[in-house]
A and B are shown apart, each in its own frame.
Chain A
Amino acid sequence: MEKPPVNSYQENAWTRLTQSKWFVYVLISPLFLVLFAYVVFPFYQTFVQSFSGDDALYNYKKFFNLASPANLEALWTSIYISVISVITCAVVGVTMAFLLERYDFPGRRILTILVLVPMALPPLVGVLSFTFLYGESGIFPRAIQHLFGLDQVPFSLKGIWGVVVVHTFTMYTYFYLTASAAIKGLDPSLEEAATSLGAGRIRVWTKVILPMLTPSIIAAALLVFMVSMASYTAPLMFGVERTMTMQIYLSRTNGNLEMAATQSMILSFVSISFLIIMRWYQNRRNYQNLSKGVSVHRSEVSSKWMKIVATVASFISTLILILPILVLILISFSVDGAWKTQILPTDYTLDHYIALFTDERTWRPIWNSIQMGVVATFGNIIFGVAAAYAMVRLNFKGKTLLDILIMVPWALPGTVVAVNLIAAFSTENIFAFNQVLIGTFWILPLAYFIRHLPLIFRSTSASLVQLDQSIEEASRSLGASWWYTFRRIVIPLTFTGILAGTLLALVQSLGEFVASILIYSTSTIPLSVAIFQKLYAFKFGTACAYGVLQICLILIVLIISEKLSKGSAGSAI
């Protein structure tokens, strides 16, 4: 037990340091350093760039110049699209939630699963299948044209309405998920109480049910608005150039980096404002549903006519939900360049799938994406787990700042993240170890790392919060060091949370398109950019084969996460 005096003196000095109340700041400084280098600094560089030139405000004056209103028009269009998207998503999402949670009708079970299909579609692939289905040369418009012998296609998805339809399809799930969670928690006895007090059906709805759902609906609305403002793929594919994200893309490709910076700043301002409003609202909102485990009663659709209507409606919904995937699969087997004016492709082949695994030029982008995604996700794991542990277990000033800095990159549109990285890493600097990162392999992993910062952080903190601190203390009291405890107790017990976040981050990285398209280097083209390029080279088959591969990856991840969340519920005490 006795130690030589010199040793014990050193141990004392070290003990003093580690036991000092400032030591925690030594521990968290790497986290803040990373956030400063890769979130704050790039953002600041964009900020500086937007004010560069002889007249500091030149770009801002140009942006708000009423004489050439392109930019203002873009801002207006973005807001306009976002507002419409919020409304359509709300209607579809909340209606679906009510029908599926409260009514029983033929086809309900299958719909309950399929309703989440849009989440499995990577943004680019989703838009792609919509253009194949409903675009100007899409399957449906053509089929109707042929059927009735028309000169032109009777309808097609294009322009702003095309964007809104795609937004509705991909984003209504935000409303659906929050609303159905809220409905599940809604105590049916409240409705019964209202009815027993003499309220009619309409009054029960307007006075009881809707007010109870308002918090979740508003939260979803803010989220959809943010995501719509950031949306880039849909405007790109439907050729709506006058949106903020497209304007940034165009400024960047035209080499006007100052203007791109200015536009990014303005878009960031909108996004961050919404992030702040969202957080404020979530903190303020009170959770009223105190009764747990309420059994929700489903009303069965009883009248004969309603039954037929319900069956037809659920059949159509099922079709709408599943068609995007079916059409991708179909076209992935079609011969490139052979499908021109026919309703459906005529010639089929397995070549695209064979090429995926055999042709070096075809699988190269897949391999690139896997490499870059793994690197980024590895960074996310280390940062996310460390930040989550610091956030939940350590006591320090600046927690709110840490939280906000982690959330901001998630709220920023991918386009803006890319512009920030261009501003920061086109020149050598200390944070890039004196290298120019733009044009190298490393820029995309960095972009993915930043965009997916909160994913592992959030899933890990959620598990950590549930892990009783005394379990760690028990391990310490039994003689285990902090690191031993972390390895043998903390990691195993939060493993499902870490893994869920990791899989999500990995999948998102494999499909990332918005930031990639702005900053990819030609030597390491990612999968999503390859899909885009194949599309423009009219190699629909290859593009769709890539898309199917992505969907398969996402489905695997979703299934694993589902299994994990069930398994952990069983083993939790």
Chain B
Amino acid sequence: MKSVKIENVSKQFGQVHGVKDLNLDIKAGEFFTFLGPSGCGKTTTLRMIAGFYYPSEGKIHFDDRDVTLLQPNRRNIGMVFQNYALFPHMTVDENIAFGLQVRKLPKSEIKQKVDRIRGLVHLTQYGSRKINELSGGQQQRVALARALVIEPDILLLDEPLSNLDAKLREETRIEIKRIQSELGVTTIYVTHDQMEAMAMSDRIMVMENGYVKQIGTPQEIYNRPVNRFVADFIGETNLIEATIESIVDDVISAKTINGIVFTGQKHNSSPALSHMIGDIVFISIRPESINQGTGDNTLTGKISFVEFTGVSVNYIVDFVDFLLKVMIINTYGQLKSIGEDITLNIANESLYFLGE
């Protein structure tokens, strides 16, 4: 269990920059996630930590040790690959034992460790199976066992769930989290799935285009995004452009082009926002924070789309200069239909103000 410190790391691929000026502290034992769309630099960062890429600039430390240019085989990391990368010419046990054999452990100890870890990932019966005789979920667990059995200082997971079907994905997600907290190993998890990231992580780093956009706990990132990219990427939201009209104490009012006025709380705004009257702001409103009926910020619009999902009713409501995605928990009432008017309200504290 070690901490990871990344200082001013950049990675160039020819003319293209993969990661730019990255600074990051991952605490020992933490479950840390790199989140972002494909090509954002999350896998590049992971591979630099693993040692498959060397940074063009900057330093990487495990605890106090500088590992920037250390070869991957000398870092004591465990890595689970997106496609599992199991050795197809070996059995399950041979795969798991590989790292222990490299470390020249005595045979009896290898057997004992392999048996123990095989139990941990619920593959007790499968030791002598060939890899191609396993299902996708089982292969996934072999990959995890193989990475964990060497008792790595850091566990790296590169989109490990992306090749599983939806149901297995959720099961495995819980399983990984269980094993991780049982062993307490520092874990770095790469994914483009924000649900996965929210559910598993202690902290998340959101990346885009090689830059860090925000680092924080799942709640911080969801409730208090620092910019439009994070607000839009994490969960669903409505981003409405408006101009600041007045600020009185903690109360802030902003008006859209067509004159709809929203009132919210000043402390619910991103740190980068300058709060000058006349400034353009973007108001982030989560679909689930919108209620039917009157209250704070009451407004009436025309329904242009209705979707019933069981748990909720989703509407898209047209307010001429913007559309509002609305999610209302199913209360077994009558659905409204397209073309009808609907009256909605949004609590003042549910508004979140963002800058450019």
Contacts and interface: CB of A to CB of B under 8 A. Distances in A.
Interface of A: 1, 12, 15-16, 18-19, 468, 470-471, 473-482, 484, 488-489, 492-493, 571-573
Interface string B103-147: 100000000000000000000000000111000000000010011
A473 B85 CA distance: 8
Nearest to B52: A473
Given A16-B69, A481-B71, 6 more contacts: A15-B71, A471-B87, A476-B72, A492-B89, A573-B86, A573-B132
B79 A571 contact: no
Contacts of B88: 471, 493, 571-573
Contacts of B130: 571
Given A19-B54, A479-B103, A474 B73 contact: no
A516 B325 CA distance: 81
B81 A478 contact: no
A15 B70 contact: yes
Q: Which 4 A-B pairs have the closest CB atoms?
A: A478-B99, A474-B85, A470-B85, A477-B79
A479 B52 contact: no
A129 B52 CA distance: 58
Contacts of A493: 87-89
B83 interface: yes
Contacts of B50: 473, 477
B89 A477 contact: no
B81 A474 contact: yes
B73 A480 contact: yes
A468 B103 contact: no
Given A19-B54, A492-B89, A478 B146 contact: yes
A571 B73 CA distance: 27
Interface in B76-93: 76-79, 81-83, 85-89
Interface residues of B, number: 36
Contacts of B272: none
A477 B71 CA distance: 9
A521 to B, nearest CB: 44
A573 B88 CA distance: 7
B102 interface: yes
A480 B69 CA distance: 17
Contacts of A470: 81-83, 85
B98 interface: yes
B221 interface: no
Given A478-B98, A479-B99, A473 B79 contact: yes
Given A471-B85, A479-B99, A493-B88, A573 B73 contact: no
Contacts of A488: 98
Contacts of A471: 85-88
B83 to A, nearest CB: 6
Nearest to B98: A478
B73 A477 contact: yes
B303 interface: no
A476 B85 CA distance: 12
A19 B143 CA distance: 28
Interface string B55-76: 0000000000100011111111
B69 A477 contact: no
12 contacts: A15-B69, A15-B70, A473-B50, A474-B86, A474-B146, A476-B73, A478-B102, A478-B147, A480-B98, A480-B102, A481-B71, A484-B102
Contacts of B89: 492-493, 571
B150 interface: yes
A473 B72 contact: yes
A571 B81 contact: no
Contacts of A468: 83, 85
Contacts of B70: 15
B79 A474 contact: yes
Contacts of B83: 468, 470
B87 A475 contact: yes
B213 to A, nearest CB: 27
Contacts of B75: 477
A502 B166 CA distance: 46
Nearest to B74: A479
A476 B147 CA distance: 11
A454 to B, nearest CB: 26
A269 B60 CA distance: 55
B69 A481 contact: no
Nearest to B143: A474
Nearest to B50: A477
B97 to A, nearest CB: 10
A295 B255 CA distance: 66
Given A15-B69, A478-B146, A479-B150, A573 B131 contact: yes
Contacts of A572: 88
Contacts of B73: 476-482
Contacts of A476: 51-52, 71-73
A12 B71 CA distance: 11
Nearest to B79: A477
Contact of A475 (B76, B77, B98): B98
A480 to B, nearest CB: 5
Contacts of B78: 477-478
A47 to B, nearest CB: 37
Contacts of B131: 573
A478 B78 CA distance: 6
A468 B71 CA distance: 20
A482 B50 CA distance: 15
A481 B78 CA distance: 15
Contacts of B103: 479
Nearest to B78: A477
A475 B97 CA distance: 11
User: Max chain B CB contacts within 10 Å: which of A474, A493, A572?
Assistant: A474
A108 B292 CA distance: 77
A235 B195 CA distance: 74
User: Max chain B CB contacts within 10 Å: which of A18, A477, A573?
Assistant: A477
Nearest to A21: B54
A374 B135 CA distance: 44
A543 B217 CA distance: 83
Contacts of B82: 470
A312 B85 CA distance: 55
User: Max chain A CB contacts within 10 Å: which of B50, B77, B87, B146?
Assistant: B87
A12 B73 CA distance: 16
Given A16-B69, A471-B87, A473-B72, A478 B52 contact: no
Contacts of B87: 471, 474-475, 489, 493
A473 B98 contact: no
Contacts of B69: 12, 15-16, 19
Contacts of B150: 478-479
Contacts of A571: 88-89, 130, 132
A18 B54 CA distance: 11
A566 to B, nearest CB: 16
A19 B50 CA distance: 15
Nearest to A495: B89
Contact of A477 (B77, B86, B132): B77
A480 B72 CA distance: 9
User: Max chain B CB contacts within 10 Å: which of A15, A16, A478, A572?
Assistant: A478
Nearest to B72: A476
A14 to B, nearest CB: 10
A477 B70 CA distance: 12
Nearest to A493: B89
Contacts of A16: 69
